[in-house]
Every structure is written in structure tokens, then in C-alpha cells.
């Protein structure tokens, strides 16, 4: 089955360029040029991945991402000219799985698309349990106390990696490299945004975490046996 990608940007030449390149790479592409149209296309076509521009007329990309996240864990790649770290963190906190700064190369975009899709669809069939947490790599599903939880691709991979070695402390860069497969060229603070969202989904109290623990000055670890 062909992978369907929704490309959203208010500049037609950007959409046309991205669409042409991705279709040549054997993806199916659906286009939208503003936030309202993006939501309509999302509902109509159920894309496997969304490439979403931040600065859209009317409903901006952040709002679109937030609304989609309320209903789906479909991978989202934010596309923007904003370069400040705080802006990137804001984008990731809305639920984006990756972030590409304009201008970008078509090859870079395709590589990011394939990496995010691998994280969201691939894996072994092994099931791993630590305390109340359970993940099924093959089904890309996560549960806590037997209840299913909806995770983005990045959140799932971070949780799976931490669960594979409970008690071990990882730096932010180590976590990024582990879930991306190579050194992330952006910034290590993106991990903090994903961990924050992950805690909101798995912790009894995300303000006083007992599962995913911060090791100040170093990074993060999963508590052994799922408890501190």
C-alpha cells in the first residue's frame, strides 16, 4: 500500500516542489494551502504522515497540529523559517515528531520523512514490560496498567529505549541518537519537550514523576521495576 503524505504550506511553489519530489520517491501526496483545508484533507484522506508549515493564513500550523494531536498520533513534521530555539521547542510541544528549517533540500526532507515513518511503523514483535508499563514493538502499542495509551512515534521510541535498560541514565544526546539512528543536527532540548509530553501520558502525577526520572545535570532514566 502506498504511503500517503499530506503537505500543507501556503506557498504553492513549496507544495508543488515537495509534492513532485515525494511522488517521484513513490509516495502519494495530498496538498493543502491553509489550516482549514489541512483539517479537511486530514479528515478526508487519513494520511500516514503530515508535513506542516508553521505560518499558515487563518488557522496556523501550531493550531492544526494541536487539533490533530487531540484525535490522532499520525507523525507530523513541522516546516518553518523560524530558527530560534524557543520556537522549535514550542513546535515540538504541540506534538510534532520532527522539525525542518527552511530553506531545506529535497533529499533532506525525504530522509526525514523516511526516518519518521520507520519509527512509526517498524520494529520487532517483542513485548517488553517494566512495572506498570508494557510496549509491543511489532504492533507499536503501549499500555500502562493494561490501558492503551496513544503515543507519537518519537514518544514511543523514547519510552521503548528507556524501558530496554531501566535504571540506566542517558544524556539527551544519547537519547536523540538512539531514536534517530544518527546524531541529531538540531538541539538537545527537543528531548525535554518529548519527555514532558510522555510524562503527561504515563505518570500518575507528571509534576512529580515516579517512572521517567530526571537526573539533574545528566539526562533521564526509567525507574527500575517502574518505580523510584
* Per-residue model confidence as pLDDT tens digits over 166-222: 898 998 888 887 776 554 545 567 788 889 989 999 999 989 999 999 999 899 999
Residue 150, number of CB atoms within 10 A of its CB: 13
Residue 122, number of CB atoms within 10 A of its CB: 11
Task: Say what the pLDDT of residue 81 is.
Answer: 78
* CA–centroid distance for 227 within its chain: 26
Identify whether residues 96 and 139 lie together within a single domain: no
CATH of the domain at 133: 1.10.10.10
Which domain covers residue 24, as residue numbers? 4-121
**In the 8-state DSSP scheme, what is residue 77?**
E
Of 97, 121, 145, the residue that ends a domain is: 121
Rounded CA separation 95/63 (Å): 11
Of 121, 154, 188, the residue that ends a domain is: 121
Rounded CA separation 20/28 (Å): 10
Identify whether residues 184 and 150 lie together within a single domain: yes
Task: Say what the pLDDT of residue 227 is.
Answer: 54
Strand partners, 130: 133
Identify whether residues 104 and 9 lie together within a single domain: yes
Identify whether residues 102 and 188 lie together within a single domain: no
Low-confidence ranges of the chain (pLDDT < 70): 1, 82-93, 121-125, 180-188, 225-228
* CA–centroid distance for 54 within its chain: 15
Identify whether residues 103 and 147 lie together within a single domain: no
Rounded CA separation 208/196 (Å): 11
Contact 124, 135 (CB under 8 A): no
Identify whether residues 90 and 180 lie together within a single domain: no
Amino acid at each position: 500500500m502506498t504511503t500517503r503524505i499530506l503537505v500543507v504550506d501556503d506557498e504553492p511553489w513549496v507544495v508543488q516542489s515537495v509534492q513532485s519530489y515525494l511522488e517521484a520517491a513513490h509516495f502519494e501526496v495530498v496538498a493543502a494551502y491553509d489550516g482549514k483545508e489541512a483539517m479537511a484533507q486530514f479528515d478526508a484522506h487519513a494520511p500516514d504522515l503530515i508535513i506542516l508549515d508553521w505560518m499558515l493564513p487563518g488557522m496556523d500550523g501550531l493550531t492544526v497540529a494541536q487539533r490533530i494531536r487531540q484525535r490522532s498520533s499520525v507523525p507530523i513534521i513541522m516546516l518553518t523559517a523560524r530558527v530560534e530555539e524557543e520556537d522549535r521547542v514550542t513546535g515540538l510541544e504541540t506534538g510534532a515528531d520532527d522539525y525542518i528549517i527552511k530553506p531545506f533540500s529535497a533529499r533532506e526532507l525525504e530522509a526525514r520523512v523516511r526516518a519518521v515513518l520507520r519509527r512509526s511503523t517498524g520494529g520487532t514483535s517483542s513485548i517488553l514490560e517494566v512495572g506498570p508499563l508494557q510496549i509491543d514493538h511489532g504492533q507499536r502499542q503501549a499500555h500502562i496498567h493494561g490501558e492503551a495509551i496513544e503515543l507519537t512515534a518519537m514518544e514511543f521510541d523514547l519510552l521503548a529505549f528507556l524501558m530496554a535498560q531501566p535504571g540506566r541514565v542517558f544524556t539527551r544526546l544519547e537519547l536523540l541518537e538512539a531514536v534517530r539512528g544518527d546524531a541529531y543536527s538540531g538541539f538537545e532540548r527537543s528531548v525535554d519537550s518529548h519527555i514532558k509530553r510522555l510524562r503527561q501520558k504515563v505518570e500518575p502525577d507528571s509534576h512529580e514523576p515516579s517512572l521517567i526520572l530526571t537526573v539533574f545535570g545528566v539526562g533521564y532514566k526509567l525507574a527500575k521495576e517502574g518505580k523510584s
